[in-house]
Structure 1
Amino acid sequence: MTAQLEAPEITVAKAGGAIGAVIGNVQLGGDLAPETVTAIRQALLDHKVIFFREQHHLDDAGQLAFAKLLGTPTLAHPTSKSLDDAANVLPIDSDYGKANSWHTDVTFVDRIPAISILRAVTLPPYGGATTWANTVAAYANLPEPLKALVDRLWAVHSNVYDYAGHADEGRIGGVDVKVETHRKQFQSKLFETEHPVVRIHPETGERSLVLGHFVRRLVGLSSAETTALFQLLQNRITNLDNTVRWQWQPGDLAIWDNRATQHYGVADYDDQPRRLHRITLAGDVPVSVDGVRSTPRTGDATHFSSLDN
């Protein structure tokens, strides 16, 4: 009888004290051994974002085949267009905007994606890093009185402005046509969802903060109170000690736990082209610390994603 070959063990090296690890000794694809997939998923839960170098062999099909080992792919986006030949792949393309604002992916729907998988396609000669923050650690490090407050808070998230936008509109005649077209497509269908500010992670049981730039208001608070409290909490999340910054190289792929992180694409590469391809995996509807599920106010996202139960 021929002995079955064992899959080589992956290596895991921390990239930062609070978040991030570099995974080695693996070539990603749809044919990984189950024990390798389990080890990758555990590294993701432990470190929140994990990085892979030298994955030059991957194309969209290979990225998708690997993604299916970790979960059920969603459509590329609830409103924005996917690639013509890949309904699950969203191009993150600098020609149409830059995601240089702290956010968790697609929090304006009730079924927030569980995991995002991002592969470098075209990189600028300088700049263009992405930074991630640990929303579990940010919550854990809050003073107890502040935890007691945020445990009962709810926020309304919406896609009412551009994915990478800081302003709702520009001067007439001064708008980039590509960016404006993308913005209109992004807002073509309105979504608003009420999420707990603190959710329970469905796999680890940890508490994490659900905030980011899709938040429009905190339920029951005035606009001034919303702004003050939102900034206080966001500053806790994005404190540099709570982040890891990844400088992309050709062949890189990053996977992050979208239930436990925020991220920010640093727009420091001038007008150089930058393009990465993202696949997201179905998640659950967030649940508050007292067991109440998020509630959609406007828009039905069932076309975008199944529910991961």
Structure 2
Amino acid sequence: MTGSGFDIRRVGGRIGAEIIGVDISRPLDPGVVAEINGALIEHKALFFRGQDLDDTAQLRFASLFGELTTAHPTVPSADGQPNVLAVNGEEGIRSNRWHTDVTFLRTPPKATTLRSLVVPPYGGNTLIANAASAYRDLPDALRELADRLWAEHTNDHDYAEPRTAKAAEHRRRFVSRKYRTAHPVVRVHPESGERGLFIGGFAQRLVGLNADDSRDLLRILQNYVIRPENVVRWSWAPGDLVLFDNRITQHYAPDDYGTLPRLLHRVTVAGDVPVGIDGERSRVVEGDDAEHYTPAAAA
């Protein structure tokens, strides 16, 4: 029980907690918001069951944690909602690859909210991984190596393999502006000071290494992130909202629900420029700062 009278119940051993007793469809007191943010820093992913939300309420809730981004740097927003991205499994475009949202930009989001509108009767879960516990799991020699590495993240790769004409069109839009950014492989969380592995599906090459060595090392590091101990699985029900810290997690949506419909709405909170353990900040390699997407671009 928190000081504000709601419950925080752990869902996983290393990541994830359900928030019980808060109606996030209504305006929240600053003290409640501070406690939720503290729980987010501690648990990395928070789950709210059975909320009565529409886009306006989701936008209001997400904005409690900072300025909002627009829907996406290249993909169109939901109709009439410039800050809302429709995550629609019906189109054959499914995020069944581990990733952290929009790391191909210099200022990826701070946090992501996902709200369920249509969920399949089976499958369609979301998996979220703790990149901080993954970092702590590294053997000393591998951790020391990771501390010195930088990775280039880009949207111009086979993140979503086109299977249909719609998927091919989505792919074309996704890379209509090409971005490439160098981030530290080990990011220092700006609020907690924790270190986490900042890699995932958009990380395609390690700075200073060839493609083969990059793939091998990234695969080794990534395997620590997605160890079952570091992962929580959320089974969606209509009206659920998930809030996760995009600075220190990765997520994955298994493609295990056939042709059944699945629709989520995503709203993201603008983030800052990642910083490595030596204080060096991420830098643009190709593209721009995407000022049309995030108010953090001027940082």
| Shorter-chain TM-score tier | over 0.9
Partner of 2:35: 39
Equivalent of residue 307 in structure 1, options 279, 296, 299: 296
Q: CA deviation at 1:79?
A: 0.3
Residue number in structure 2 paired with 1:82: 77
| Residues 117, 279 of structure 1: 8 Å contact kept | yes
CA–CA distance in structure 2, aligned partners of residues 276 and 84 of structure 1: 14
Where does residue 122 of structure 2 map in the other structure?
126
**Residue 161 of structure 1: CA displacement?**
3.0
2:267 is the counterpart of 1:279: yes
What is the RMSD of the two structures over their aligned residues, measured on CA atoms? 1.4
Partner of 2:229, secondary structure, is helix
SS at match of 1:271: coil
Aligned residue identity for 2:53: L
Structure 2 match to 1:265: 253
2:11 and 2:126 mapped to 1: Cα distance? 13
- Following TM superposition, the consecutive aligned residue runs of length 4 or more in structure 1 with deviations greater than 2 angstroms are 161-165
> Could you say what secondary structure the match of 1:267 adopts?
coil
Partner residue in 1 for 2:186: 198
**Structure 2 Cα separation of the partners of residues 128 and 184 of structure 1:** 25
Following superposition, the deviation at residue 162 of structure 1 comes to 5.1
- What is the TM-score when the length of structure 1 is the normalising length? 0.92
Tell me the amino acid that sits aligned with residue 72 of structure 1: E
Partner of 1:110: 106
1:70 CA displacement: 1.3
For 1:299 and 1:225, the matched residues in 2 are separated by 25
Measured against aligned partners, the alpha-carbon deviations of 1:214-266 in whole angstroms (never above 9, x if no partner) come to 11210111212111111100100000111000110111100000001000001
- Match of 1:106, as an amino acid? V
Alignment of 1:242-257 (within 5 A): 242-257=230-245
Cα distance, 1:302 vs structure 2: 1.8
Once the two structures are TM-superposed, the CA of residue 30 in structure 1 deviates from its matched residue by 5.2
1:186 aligns with 2:165: no
SS in 2 for 1:307: helix
Letter in 2 for 1:255: L
Instruction: State the identity %.
Output: 48
1:23 matches 2:22:
no
1:76 to 1:30, Cα distance in 2 relative to 1, 3 A:
farther
Task: Please say if 1:230 is aligned against 2:215.
Answer: no
Q: Does 1:53 align with 2:49?
A: yes
Contact in 2 for aligned 1:198/1:210 (Cα 8 Å): yes
What does residue range 198-217 of structure 1 map to in structure 2 within 5 Å? Answer: 198-217=186-205
Q: Distance in 1 between matches of 2:22 and 2:151?
A: 40
- Tell whether the 8 Å contact from 1:30 to 1:68 is kept in structure 2 after alignment: no
Letter in 2 for 1:298: E
How many pairs does the alignment contain? Answer: 294
**Contact 1:10–1:26 at 8 Å: present in 2 too?**
yes
Contact persistence 1:95–1:179 (CA under 8 A): no
Distance 1:132 1:33 in 2: 28
Secondary structure at 1:9 match in 2: coil
Distance across 2 between alignment mates of 1:100 and 1:272: 15
Match of 2:59 in 1: 64
Residue identity matched to 2:274: P
Equivalent position of 1:156 in the other structure: 152
Alpha-carbon distance in 2 for matches of 1:60, 1:254: 14
Gaps of 5+ in 2: none
Q: Who wins on radius of gyration, i.e. which is larger? A: 1
Structure 1 residues 160-206: Cα deviation after superposition (integer angstroms, max 9, x where no partner) = 135433xxxx6xxxx41111111100010000001110111000011
Q: Under a length normalisation based on structure 2, what TM-score does the superposition of the two structures give?
A: 0.95
Q: Secondary structure at the match of 2:183?
A: strand
Conservation of the 8 A alpha-carbon contact between 2:135 and 2:195: yes
In the other structure, the counterpart of 2:142 is 146
Which whole-Å CA distance do the structure 2 matches of 1:84 and 1:271 have between them?
23
Separation in 2, partners of 1:216, 1:163: 10
Instruction: Select 2:283's aligned residue among 295, 302, 305.
Output: 295
